[in-house]
Structures are given as structure tokens and as C-alpha cells.
Amino acid sequence: MPYQNLKKADPQMFKLVDAEAKRQQKFITLIASENYASPAVLEALGSPLNNKYSEGYPGKRYYPGNELVDKIEILARERACKLFKAEHANVQALSGGPANLAIYSALLKPGDKLMGAKLAHGGHLSHGHKVNFSGQLYRQIGYELDTDGRLNMKKLAALAKKEKPKLIVAGFSAYSRDIDWAGFRKIADSVKAYLLADISHTAGLVATGQLKSPVKYADVVMFTTHKSFWGPRGAVILCKKYLAEIIDRAVFPGFQGGPHDNAIAAIAVALKEASTAKFKTYAKQVIVNAKTLATELSKLNYKIISNGTDNHLMVVDLTNKNLTGKEAEAKLAAQGILVSRSTIPNDPRGPFNPSGIRLGTYAITTRGFKPTDIKKLAQRIDAILSRNT
């Protein structure tokens, strides 16, 4: 039985943790940013590495007793570099949002222009949105998807030429198409901007060759380790050698104190898992499942933004169904299916109750879903959303 020590020490918390573990088993999770950490990753996370302080980097720590922690962090960095064919990896950032802020602080000065996708067009808060520190410290030049729900590289080039940003973020929380990294590089070069590829949502698909890799093109690549991998909450920053020192310094001491060594060990485990044939098969299945879900929902007259998907996710525009994203989210949750409300491009409604929902296949694929299951799932989603109550 798991959690026996917790049960004894804190029965109230045990009940909540145990109930959450059961809830996770019971619900079908289509939240595009969620996945399940592997048992090996959870063991590394719950290991005594949690107890160590190791401010600094391997070989240059501000605390004693870090000989083994150094080996662990070096292993995590080496695995990240090998998997993505990168020149340098930092594995200390606590999560994706803080990682992006650290990257900006390394490359930008307050008030500089940062060109990132608007929230309603698939971007993330940490790409310069006004409610995020990135939007308060830097001036966001927000870009949009075209009317077909895709990036229009010519329009992006024109916007960059007009605004001359110091950094361009190519990366998305709700964009279902593969990305023209060479095109982004060309645009960045045309205005001498840095290019940051935020592949938090797709890193596992990139690592296994299912999607194009930005590593050759971007100055910096950032990804979280808990969405597309079976990994812990955390982030990895990859960069060219010439930026290694300033990126490392921005993370520590610039942004953080002691790294979470248990999470770093768990990241290393997740990266090892990601290099296996089993994970490659999984990544392929994630995309097959997402394509199947998009096709089946289209057949049921659901409008998929950009008419399909290349990756693990899709945004569904519900305006023709007379439902808001929040209503659909609640209806599905009441029947054990979790999706997240989502804005659609040029959404006439606000982000709290937007016009769409976002669905992704990482979690269900980890649980073994195949296209036959997905077809049934699409039918079930439609049956729930079509009910009047």
C-alpha cells in the first residue's frame, strides 16, 4: 500500500492525496498539458535528494557534500544535450514560466520589445502577456494566427520588420501545427533578434523525430518536462555554447536559490525513458490518436481550428454548437472527461469563458488509448455536449 507513512503522520492529508490519486485514475484527461509521471520518475522525486542544498553548478557549489549531486546534474545535462543534439543544457529552472523569465533576463533589458503570440492565438502568459511579469517588464509585440488558424510567416516577417523586437518567442500552448523553425530564424535574422523556441508542449514529439526540431535554428530552446514526457514538473533550457554562461547565470544566481535536485534526477530519468523505442512508439501513437480525435469530432460537426492537427492537441471552436468553452468544460467534467476551456483566434469572448475547448492526447495515450477507443470517446463527448442539461 502506498503512502503508509503519510497516513500515519497526517491522516487528513493522506485522505486528500489518496483521493486525488483515485480521481486521476477515474477521470479521462484530455487536458493537453497533462500527462502521468512514470513510477521511476516519482521514485526519484520522492528520494532523499529532496534534502540537499546545492546552490551553484557542478564543480562550483556553495555547499559541501555535492559530489553525487554533481554527477546527477551532469547526467541530466548530458542526456538533454544528447536527446536534442544541443550544445548546452541547463536543468535547474523550476518550471516553464520561471525558465522563460530567466531567459529574457539573460537576453533583454527592461523595456525591450519581445515578440510573442497573443494568448488568444495560442501563446502563453509568459510570452509577454500584460498580466504576467514578462509583459510588465518588456513590451510585448503580440502576433496572431491567420484566419485559417495557422501561422502566416509573411505577416510575421512584416510585423518584425515594423517593430524590430529584440527577441522573438516561437512557441505555443494551443497551436496544433508543426512549426517552420527555419522561417522563424530568417525573420529573427532580418531584424537581428534572438529566437527563443518554447517547445514546452511538444518536446517529446520533437525528441523522437515526430516534429521538426528547433535546436539548429533557435538561440535558446526551452521545454517543460511534465507535459510531453513522463517526467516531473520542471524545465530544461537548451542553448548555443556562446550563451551558456549568461543563461546559467540568469537561472542561478539571477532567479533562483538552490536547485531541486530530486526534480533534476527525475528529469534525467524522464530523458532516459524518452530515448527508448517504447517512448518513440508512444510519441507516434500520441499523434495518431490526436489526428483520429480531430477527424472523428469533425465528422460530428465540430469545428477544429486549422482543420486538424500535426501534434498532440486541437482547439475546438464551439460557436456553432451554441456552447461556451466554460459550459462544455463543466458538462464534460461532470461526466468524468476533463478538457480545458480555450480561446479561439479573434475570440469575441474573454479568456474566463471563451468560445472553445482544447483537447490533447498525451495522458490518454499513456493510459493505452488506441484509435478504436478514441472513436468511442469522440461519440461520448458529442453525446454529453449535445444533451440539453
Ligand X SMILES: Cc1ncc(COP(=O)(O)O)c(C=O)c1O
Catalytically active residues, by annotation = 53, 55, 198, 224, 227, 233
Q: Which helix (H) or strand (E) holds 282?
A: helix 277-299
How many residues belong to the site for ligand X (CB under 6 A)?
14
* Closer CB to ligand X, 66 or 262, in the complex: 262
Please report whether residue 33 would count as binding ligand X according to CB under 6 A.
yes
* Closer CB to ligand X, 89 or 385, in the complex: 89
Q: Minimal CB distance to ligand X: which residue?
A: 96
* Closer CB to ligand X, 61 or 201, in the complex: 201
Minimum CB distance to ligand X, residue 130 (Å): 16
Residue 89 β-bridge partners: 238
C-alpha cell at 148: 485559417
Burial class, 3, CB count within 10 angstroms (exposed 0-12 / middle 13-18 / buried 19+): middle
Minimum CB distance to ligand X, residue 320 (Å): 27
Please report whether residue 360 would count as binding ligand X according to CB under 6 A.
no
Choose among 152, 95, 148: nearest CA to 124. Answer: 95
Binding mask 153-192 for ligand X (x = CB under 6 A): ------------------xxx-------------------
* Closer CB to ligand X, 106 or 385, in the complex: 106
C-alpha cell at 34: 497533462
Residue of the chain from 61, 124, 291, 312 that contacts ligand X (CB under 6 A):
124
* Closer CB to ligand X, 172 or 369, in the complex: 172
Strands (E) in 118-216, as ranges, are: 139-143, 167-171, 194-198
Helix axis angle for 67-84 and 261-274, nearest 10°, is 30
Minimum CB distance to ligand X, residue 9 (Å): 29
Minimum CB distance to ligand X, residue 135 (Å): 14
Residue of the chain from 57, 92, 97, 359 that contacts ligand X (CB under 6 A):
97
Residue 57 β-bridge partners: 60
> Before 48, cis peptide (omega within 30)?
no
Q: Are 104 and 132 in contact (CB under 8 A)?
A: no
Please report whether residue 200 would count as binding ligand X according to CB under 6 A.
yes
**Based on C-alpha coordinates, what's the Rg of the chain?**
21
* Closer CB to ligand X, 228 or 292, in the complex: 228
Strands (E) in the chain, as ranges, are: 28-29, 56-57, 60-61, 88-90, 113-117, 139-143, 167-171, 194-198, 220-224, 235-239, 303-304, 313-317, 337-338, 340-342, 356-360
121: which DSSP letter? Answer: G
Please report whether residue 128 would count as binding ligand X according to CB under 6 A.
no
Please report whether residue 224 would count as binding ligand X according to CB under 6 A.
yes
Minimum CB distance to ligand X, residue 63 (Å): 26
Minimum CB distance to ligand X, residue 204 (Å): 13
- Applying CB under 6 A, which residues contact ligand X? 33, 95-97, 100, 124, 126, 171-173, 198, 200-201, 224
